Amino acid sequence: MDIKAVILAAGKGTRMKSETTPKVLHEIMGKTLLGYVLDNVKNLASEEFVIVGHHAEEVETFVKHNYKNAKTVLQSPQLGTGHAVSMVCPYLENYDGLVLILCGDTPLIKEETLKKFVEFHTSHASELTVMSTIFENPTNYGRIIREENGSLKCIVEEKDATNEQKAVKEVNAGIYCLNWGKIKSAFGQLKTNNAQGEYYLTDIISWGKSQNLNVNAFILDNSDEIYGINSRSNLATASKIMNKRNLEKYMDEGVTIVDPDSTWISEDTEIGQDTIIYPATYIEGKNKIGKNCKIGPCAHLRGGVEVCDNVKVGNFVEVKKSKISSNTNVGHLSYIGDSDLGERVNIGAGTITANYDPISKTKSRTILEDDVKIGSNTVLVAPVTVEKGANVGAGSVITKNISQWALAITRSPLKIFENWVKNKLQ
Ligand code: UD1
Ligand code: CA
């Protein structure tokens, strides 16, 4: 059956205390919270609707640039999660398939879990399914309230809950699957008679029960996946959970992570077998690292980086939007940005690719062909090409292309004044 996804991303995110960035555009290892949710749902849904409101323009721009299949729908003012979903009603008037609802602040959910969730919904002939999990500390989440016979009754928000309800550890993940044709009329009937005076999406559960619909909960074992981000502290916790998950995966695939406690690697990075990642390395965004590489300690890969096999990216090296071909070494204290490095290139310590022109505000590329050797403390002012086999002497500032097998050097001549110090001291 066709699936459309609705992602709630209009809320203010008050608890993040951010003036400049809407909650869903905060990042974990170079990717926004909303980006994680959209990536995990995009293979399942034929279309995604992102509900925007607070900082709408920024969220719209982000979606437009990165997710061609997703539409943004404005919710203004923001009157609650139920109100947010009702914004898609005009777009889905004649739609009769499934709608998967997710929150833009829940980035740890996995695609395979969403798949199982939809399968559960379909195989139970459910008309409305909510995802739940058990939290030892359920504070701030909506609680799943069940009838004595164990069937679902309703969801109660923390702020509306009695002490007895607060003790319930089964919580609402904020992820729902619904047969749109059956549930859509609920959105005209939600009320605001609750502690926050909002239209709660959670009320569709009791509404569904009152309509004698088949309403179910899918209990998720791995509660980490539905961890929602409401505060900076939550953001840090979610980042740690995600990183641990990523590192375990890389280690399972044959990558050595010397110190998992100080290493960060984004989930969109591919790493080949027998590569060693040394401590305090931070790898964010989308990258591809080959086999038998040595990365770090203290290396920073900032996304858009392709590192081929047998490459060394050593201590205090930062790399961004660059390709480093096989058997090349960037050993120490260098910045490689917007560059293409050939095979068997050697980059001396302290080499900088000056890729940014602050006058024109443009970035340019540096191209170092195969077998090029760059002496220590060199600045390569882009756009610049050093052709195959050429050498650059230490301390040079390279502003022109260098032809193959040439030596380029801009160092001023060395002057030695014999006995100069001794004479001064006399
Ligand atoms: C919500 C659920 C709670 C659940 C928790 C899971 C409700 C009423 N509560 O609580 O049961 O346990 O998620 O993480 O649904 N949003 C809008 N428009 C609005 C309000 C919110 O788009 O008018 C968006 C927010 O941007 C956010 C999501 O909806 O991405 C959830 O809102 P939030 O305020 O974070 O709800 P919680 O209090 O976490
Ligand atoms: Ca939330």
Query: What CATH number has the domain bearing residue 46?
Result: 3.90.550.10
In a domain, 424, yes or no: no
Atom 26, ligand 1: which residue's CA is nearest?
11
The residue to mutate among 81, 134, 229, having the most atoms of ligand 1 within 8 angstroms of its beta carbon, is 81
pLDDT band for position 215 (cuts 50, 70, 90): very high
In a domain, 150, yes or no: yes
Give me the residue label for tokens 């900082």.
Answer: 55
Closest listed ligand to the CA of 81: 1
- Same domain for 272 and 151, yes or no, is no
Tell me the residue length of the chain.
426
Using CB atoms within 10 Å of the CB of residue 400, give its burial: 0 to 12 exposed, 13 to 18 middle, 19+ buried: exposed
- Same domain for 211 and 335, yes or no, is no
- Same domain for 174 and 260, yes or no, is no
Residues with CB under 6 A from ligand 1: 8-11, 51, 53, 75, 78-81, 83-84, 103-106, 141-142, 155, 157, 171-174, 200-202, 228, 230
346-389 pLDDT, tens digit per residue, is 999 999 999 999 999 999 999 999 999 999 999 999 999 999 99
- Same domain for 375 and 249, yes or no, is yes
Q: How far apart are CA 371 and CA 343, in angstroms?
A: 6
- The yes-or-no answer on residue 65 being catalytic is no
- Same domain for 215 and 245, yes or no, is no
Distance from Cα 11 to the centre of ligand 1, integer Å: 7
Output DSSP code: residue 100. E
Q: How far apart are CA 130 and CA 81, in angstroms?
A: 14
Closest listed ligand to the CA of 109: 1
Pick from 112, 117, 79, 116: nearest CA to 101: 117
- Same domain for 198 and 267, yes or no, is no
Residues in contact with 300: Cβ distance below 8 Å, sequence separation at least 6, in sequence order: 281, 282, 283, 317, 318, 319
pLDDT at 109: 97
Tell me: pLDDT of 282 over 90. yes
Helix or strand (DSSP H, E) at 341: strand 339-341
In a domain, 43, yes or no: yes
Q: What is the mean pLDDT of residues 235-239?
A: 98
Tell me: pLDDT of 249 over 90. yes
- Same domain for 7 and 38, yes or no, is yes
- Same domain for 181 and 202, yes or no, is yes
Tell me: pLDDT of 12 over 90. no
Distance from Cα 118 to the centre of ligand 1, integer Å: 21
pLDDT at 318: 98
394-408 pLDDT, tens digit per residue, is 999 999 999 999 999
Q: What is the mean pLDDT of residues 126-131?
A: 98
Atom 36, ligand 1: which residue's CA is nearest?
81
Domain count, the chain: 2
Q: How far apart are CA 184 and CA 89, in angstroms?
A: 7
Tell me how many degrees the CA angle 59-175-125 measures, rounded to the nearest 5: 135
- Residue 190, both tokens: 């939600």
Distance from Cα 154 to the centre of ligand 2, integer Å: 18
End residue of a domain, out of 195, 226, 257: 226
Q: How far apart are CA 407 and CA 84, in angstroms?
A: 64
Using a pLDDT cut of 70, give the percent of the chain over it: 100
Distance from Cα 111 to the centre of ligand 2, integer Å: 19
Atom 13, ligand 1: which residue's CA is nearest?
174
Conformational region of residue 310, where left means phi above 0, alpha means psi within -120 to 50, and beta covers everything else: left
In a domain, 382, yes or no: yes
The CATH number covering residue 273 comes to 2.160.10.10
End residue of a domain, out of 209, 226, 243: 226
pLDDT at 316: 98
C-beta separation of 253 from 272 below 8 A = no
Instruction: Name the catalytic one among 54, 55, 124, 332.
Output: 332
With both helix axes pointing from N to C terminus, report the angle between 33-41 and 56-66 in degrees, rounded to the nearest 10: 40
Range of the domain at 379: 234-408
In a domain, 376, yes or no: yes
Residues in contact with 49: Cβ distance below 8 Å, sequence separation at least 6, in sequence order: 4, 5, 6, 7, 70, 71, 72, 73, 88, 91
- Residue 182, both tokens: 């059956």
Distance from Cα 319 to the centre of ligand 2, integer Å: 34
In a domain, 426, yes or no: no
Atom 34, ligand 1: which residue's CA is nearest?
11
Q: What is the mean pLDDT of residues 247-256?
A: 98
Q: How far apart are CA 65 and CA 32, in angstroms?
A: 13
Tell me: pLDDT of 307 over 90. yes
In a domain, 416, yes or no: no
Q: How far apart are CA 81 and CA 67, in angstroms?
A: 23
CA distances from 70 to 61, 222, 274 (A): 11, 28, 38
Pick from 3, 42, 225: nearest CA to 122: 3
Full-model pTM: 0.93
Instruction: State residue 233 phi and psi, 5-degree precision.
Output: -65, -40
Distance from Cα 128 to the centre of ligand 2, integer Å: 21
- Same domain for 213 and 257, yes or no, is no
Atom 11, ligand 1: which residue's CA is nearest?
142
pLDDT at 3: 98
Residues in contact with 266: Cβ distance below 8 Å, sequence separation at least 6, in sequence order: 29, 30, 31, 246, 283, 284, 285, 286, 287, 303
In a domain, 420, yes or no: no
Atom of ligand 1 nearest to the CA of 174: 6
Closest listed ligand to the CA of 8: 1
Output DSSP code: residue 192. -
- Same domain for 177 and 260, yes or no, is no
The chain-wide mean pLDDT, for the chain, equals 97
Higher pLDDT, 298 or 19: 298
- Same domain for 218 and 118, yes or no, is yes
End residue of a domain, out of 200, 226, 252: 226
Which amino acid is residue 16, in one-letter code?
M
pLDDT at 1: 87
- Same domain for 371 and 333, yes or no, is yes
pLDDT band for position 106 (cuts 50, 70, 90): very high
Q: How far apart are CA 299 and CA 21, in angstroms?
A: 27
pLDDT at 407: 98
Q: How far apart are CA 101 and CA 85, in angstroms?
A: 8
70-86 pLDDT, tens digit per residue, is 999 999 999 999 999 99
Atom of ligand 1 nearest to the CA of 82: 15
